Amino acid sequence: MGKTMIEKILGRNTGRDVKPGDIVTVDVDRVMLDDIMMPFIVSKFREMGFSRVWDPEKTVIICDHLVPASQTDDIRAYRISCDFAAEQNIPNLHRSDGICHQLMTEAGYVKPGNVVFGTDSHTTTYGCVGAFSTGIGYTEMAGILGTGQLWIRVPSTIRICINGKLPENVMSKDVILKIIGDLTAAGATYKALEFTGDTVRDMSVSSRMTMTNMAIEAGAKCGLFAPDEKTAAYCGIELDEFQKSLAGDEDAVYEQTICYRAEDFVPVMAVPSNVDNVQPVSALESVAVDQVFLGSCTNGRLEDLMAAAEILKGKHIAPFVRLIVTPASRKVYQEALENGTLAILSEAGAMITHPSCGLCCGRTGGILTDDEVVVATNNRNFLGRMGTSKVKIYLASPKTAAVCALTGRITTP
């Protein structure tokens, strides 16, 4: 009988013939610790009686949520991160280089077939390169730091098959929002989402990242793309035989297979205040917009900034609309600076910030107040996430966000 991607990855890691529902103990290839969780991780690590991290080289600490500091207590998390890295001789410390999920793949920490855990729910992102990655709490992370292992239950898999060519104004953000809307926020709870079909094979790794990043919004334990030549180029490696074999087998047993025709996708938005409340942009065009946010680990990459710049080039955002642009990493910032993308966005009226999580987690400027509307390219529109509980957050693709900034209302790109 054939195997799904998650069964192959966990089977290779454990040396077992695994099936959904099995409880297995995995050897961890890499962990990511973010600044906002560091005080809790370090406290629990010591409470458990550990004194040394099992493998400093496999440990990555990234300060991204709380830099630059916007509250005095943020500095405590920053200092604990730096002090713990020094104490444990952890060489992989990023103090303001960008968002954790961007850096984990961009800096080469994650490779196809790896088993990776992080203290952030959107750790599912690394499935874009064919790794099993998922978010955990600080107690589990403290246990890994001391032992290098964690037990998990092998997930069943929902196969998402998309074939055809996407319309020009549709991005992978529209695709994953549509899928989340169909599955619902709990429809893939503790399951793997395996993305297949010629549409996803045509996607860039950056576009795939958007989809695996948001797999968690349907409750998924992970989202996975089979490694290919694009993956190898992005990771700077040559795929070995195991990595080449990581696609799900034709005779694998899937819990469910859902098929889409690419040409049927349209620009969509997740409307306040649930990610699975997804509607066509065309049905929302009477809504006035106060602010647009272009950034986050979902859509702050170079191709996202360039897609917005293509729409805004030679134009100016609507009066009284605030456009905040936050590149996902220093590398993205530098590339966008060098190719003129940031200049186009700035001339259009954008405020460009330092790479960080920024407004996505309601930090470092840009929060909104009662009854204001923000169109944002991040992954969650929960109540109170970007200001007061009466802020209305609409999630959209970079193309849709750029057009909304231009017109001052929700507009189909």
Residues of the chain with CATH 3.30.499.10: 5-262, 268-407
Nearby residues of 31 by Cβ (< 8 Å), 6 or more positions away: 58, 59, 60, 116, 117, 118, 141, 144, 145
Q: What is the CA radius of gyration of the chain?
A: 20
Whole-angstrom Cα distance, residue 290 to residue 151? 46
User: How do residues 335-385 score in pLDDT, each as one tens digit?
Assistant: 999 999 999 999 999 999 999 999 998 887 899 999 999 999 999 999 999
Residue 91: both structure tokens together:
């060489």
Second-level CATH architecture of 268-407: 2-Layer Sandwich (3.30)
Q: Indicate if the pLDDT at residue 272 is higher than 90.
A: yes
Query: What's the mean per-residue pLDDT of the chain?
Result: 97
Within 10 angstroms of residue 75's Cβ, the number of other Cβ atoms is: 12
Predicted local distance difference test score (pLDDT) of residue 361: 87
6 with 224: CB under 8 angstroms?
Answer: yes
Whole-angstrom Cα distance, residue 227 to residue 245? 9
Nearby residues of 74 by Cβ (< 8 Å), 6 or more positions away: 66, 67, 363
What phi, psi does 324 have (nearest 5°)?
-110, 125
Sign of CA dihedral 196, 199, 204, 209: negative
Total residue count of the chain as it appears in this document: 413
User: How do residues 53-112 score in pLDDT, each as one tens digit?
Assistant: 999 999 999 999 999 988 888 999 999 999 999 999 999 999 999 999 999 999 999 999
**Alpha helices, DSSP H, located in 320-379:** 330-338, 341-347
Predicted local distance difference test score (pLDDT) of residue 1: 86
User: How do residues 165-211 score in pLDDT, each as one tens digit?
Assistant: 999 999 999 999 999 999 999 999 999 999 999 999 999 999 999 99
Second-level CATH architecture of 5-262: 2-Layer Sandwich (3.30)
User: How do residues 288-340 score in pLDDT, each as one tens digit?
Assistant: 999 999 999 999 999 999 999 999 999 999 999 999 999 999 999 999 999 99
User: How do residues 14-47 score in pLDDT, each as one tens digit?
Assistant: 999 999 999 999 999 999 999 999 999 999 999 9
For every residue of 24-69, DSSP letters joined together read: EEEEPSEEEEEGGGHHHHHHHHHHTT--S-S-GGGEEEE--TT-S-
Sign of CA dihedral 312, 313, 315, 321: positive
Amino acid sitting at position 84: F
Amino acid sitting at position 172: S
Within 10 angstroms of residue 49's Cβ, the number of other Cβ atoms is: 7
Whole-angstrom Cα distance, residue 72 to residue 294? 26
Whole-angstrom Cα distance, residue 286 to residue 271? 13
Amino acid sitting at position 229: E
The fraction of the chain above a pLDDT of 90, given in percent, is 96
Predicted local distance difference test score (pLDDT) of residue 72: 87
Predicted local distance difference test score (pLDDT) of residue 235: 97
The fraction of the chain above a pLDDT of 70, given in percent, is 100
- Mean of pLDDT values over 117-131: 98
Predicted local distance difference test score (pLDDT) of residue 363: 81
Amino acid sitting at position 350: A
